[in-house]
Structure 1
């Protein structure tokens, strides 16, 4: 019998808040809210890019709103898996 080494990629991520898409469908943001949200999203992307990480899937479903704070979610798997080469499933 042949020995097979199986590796598994496990990603643990903090998920806190609600997707921005939930608020877009239900609420009208003020101009000040929109500026604050946009600024925080761009600041988060800037920090990721400084670390040479690309989000690749930025959408209102992957932007979490927790009180007055924005958190970017669902990024980095492509980066962590050597551009998808280390996993047997497609990463979009």
Structure 2
């Protein structure tokens, strides 16, 4: 499982949010789509063995919400996600 955040400057309202969710959610491999209107971002949890970030960008562009940048998130099985929130002393 992987996560990616798309920066989409054209997000402005709930209609935009619903359009983005309806465009991405049905794609094979997409698990969850969350849109944050104030930050103009869409976060997608997906199976990177079934869909690519490039494919999701194409779908967003086709829905008239092109992403201007992409921020990859940590993989669920990565070391950084397993130790998140822990300090160097284990507290």
| TM-score of the pair, normalised by structure 2 | 0.34
More strand by share: 2
Please state which structure has a larger fraction of its residues in helix. 1
Larger radius of gyration: 1
TM-score (norm 1): 0.33
Relative contact order, CA 8 A, sep 6+: which one is greater?
2
